[in-house]
Amino acid sequence: MKPVDPRDNASDVARHLQENGHVAYFAGGCVRDRLLGLAPVDYDIATDATPDRVKALFPHAISVGESFGVMLVRRGGHTLEIATFRSDGLYRDGRHPETIRFGTEIEDAARRDFTVNAMFEDPVSGLLIDHFNGRADLDDRVLRAVGDPAERLSEDRLRVLRAIRFAARFELEIEATTAAALRSDHTLEGVSRERVGGELRRMLSDSTRVRAVELLESFALDLAVLGTARPSGGGHPALKGLAPENREPIDGLAAWMLDREDPADRTSIRALRDGLLLSNREERRLESVLTLVREVEDGWERASMAQRKRSAAREEFTTVVELVRGRDAGFGAGVMSDLLELEATGIAPDPFLSGEDLIGAGLSPGPDFKQILDVTYDAQLEGDLETRAEALAFALKIARRAQGDG
């Protein structure tokens, strides 16, 4: 089956609503992205149809957050969000409106965070519906809150992080009163750790991560985000060392920690894990990257060939080399050229020997097997052993010596 184009798919849904007497627009991010010439990740539809009507027109629609009037429609392999125009009531906890009521199209645009995110587009007529001049702001590369910035940001402090993320990702200048509002409150009070972690991951995985971090620091948000404030006085050499493509957010986090000269000990990593709700896998990767950076920086020069190969064989090594190069270009270049040399004899060749081979040669399995195999593999990595037979002879010699000692 030919995959359905997401835009056509979403247009069909909007058309179906319109043909049944409703107003239905593309809304928010997908409108912005298209004006920027980017492919929207997902399409959101805003409509005057109430959830009941949406359900009647799309019997398989699933209600999410009934009280917000949001319905999900699965269609053509995509999931679309259909949200009834609404007006958000008072915010009490710095994150969630106390009440909402269904409202008009303008009210629905007015509840959105930034002008560039507050546009609608009629997919059938192609008309742009732009109540807050988002188009002009987008053209001028300006990020501006809809309405009174101080009020809008204090209603929902997640918007503070969204502001930074959008400004970085789309290279927008934060408009002066919006910037002043951002500056006046950097507590992120009421924003859950999931959301802080989620926003930070998105900033750090994007190719614009350096700018995102510069903005976070210039708005003094590093304390709220990472739990500690530390001036990265030396700029961001590690962050800049990462190739500017999308990648694992943890690599960006490790880079930021290096730039801040954060201690890479267990306690600091645990604290970050708890603050950002890192998964076990993320925590392990963070720790591995930071440890390996230190090992390479402190030990590479005097490491044996086998030690270098064992480091280079690690999954995180490519990232580590980028970070190390960012921090010290000359040293990094040296590591790179050493790496080429290591590759000539194989960085992670299959070991010549396994435990089975030792048993086959008459040794009885025991706790020293692992050590014998490790030492033999090191000799293989050093290039001292070239065949399986040489490896076996070498292993037996060590085994005999061990027995002699014992």
Binding residues (CB under 6 A) for ligand ATP: these are: 28-29, 41, 44, 112-113, 117-118, 156, 158-159
Residue 117 interacts with which of ligand ATP, Mg ion, none, CB < 5 to 8 Å by class: ligand ATP
CB of residue 22 to ligand ATP, shortest distance in Å: 19
Contacts of 217 (CB under 8 A, 6+ apart): 231, 232
- Binding partner at 156 among Mg ion, ligand ATP, none, C-beta below 5 to 8 Å by kind: ligand ATP
Picking from 125, 130, 98, 94, the residue whose alpha carbon sits closest to that of residue 112 is: 130
Whose Cβ is closer to ligand ATP: residue 85's or residue 377's?
Answer: 85
Q: Which of 44, 251 has the CB closer to Mg ion?
A: 44
Residue with tokens 């948000």: 221
- CA–CA gap between residue 328 and residue 264 (Å, rounded): 19
Least Å distance, CB 117 to ligand ATP, is 3
Shortest separation between residue 233's beta carbon and Mg ion, angstroms: 36
Q: Which does 112 bind (CB under 5 to 8 A by kind): Mg ion, ligand ATP, none?
A: ligand ATP
Q: Which two tokens stand for residue 389?
A: 């037979």
Pairing of strands 120-121, 24-27: antiparallel
Shortest spacing between CB 41 and Mg ion, in angstroms: 6
48 touches, from Mg ion, ligand ATP, none (C-beta below 5 to 8 Å by class): none
* Alpha-carbon distances of 162 from 61, 215, 233, 271, 319, rounded to whole Å: 29, 12, 25, 23, 27
Could you tell which of Mg ion, ligand ATP, none binds residue 159, using a CB distance below 5 to 8 A set by kind? ligand ATP
**Tokens encoding 122:** 């009629």
Quote the CA–CA distance of 201 and 359 in Å, as a whole number.
Answer: 49
Residue 4 DSSP label: P
Does 197 contact Mg ion by CB under 5 A?
Answer: no
Instruction: Please tell me whether residue 52 adopts helix, strand or coil conformation.
Output: helix
Using alpha carbons only, how large is the chain's radius of gyration in Å?
28
Give whichever of 156 and 322 is closer to ligand ATP, judged by the CB atom: 156
Which residue is nearest to ligand ATP, using beta carbons? 29
CB 166 → ligand ATP: shortest distance, Å? Answer: 7
Residue 236 binds which entry of ligand ATP, Mg ion, none, CB below 5-8 Å type-dependent? none
Q: Nearest approach, Cβ of 380 to ligand ATP (angstroms)?
A: 49
By CB under 5 A, the residues from 20 to 49 that bind Mg ion are 29
Nearer to ligand ATP, 113 or 222 (CB): 113
List the structure tokens of 234.
């030396």
Tokens describing residue 384: 């001292």
Smaller CB separation from Mg ion, 79 or 304: 79
- Partner whose binding site includes residue 297, from Mg ion, ligand ATP, none (CB under 5 to 8 Å by kind): none
Q: Which is nearer to Mg ion, 202 or 310 (CB)?
A: 202
To 10 degrees, what angle do helices 266-276 and 193-205 make?
Answer: 110
Cα–Cα distance for residue pair 297/332, rounded to 1 Å: 9
Nearer to ligand ATP, 198 or 237 (CB): 198
Number of residues in contact with Mg ion under rule CB under 5 A? 1
Strands of 319-386, DSSP E: none
Judged by CB, which is closer to ligand ATP: 143, or 392? 143
Handedness of CA 24, 29, 30, 35 (dihedral sign): positive
Q: Which does 203 bind (CB under 5 to 8 A by kind): ligand ATP, Mg ion, none?
A: none
Instruction: Single out the residue of 241, 242, 238, 240 nearest to residue 259, CA to CA.
Output: 238
* Minimum CB–partner distance for residue 158 and ligand ATP (Å): 5
Residue type, 127: L
List contacts with Mg ion (CB under 5 A): 29
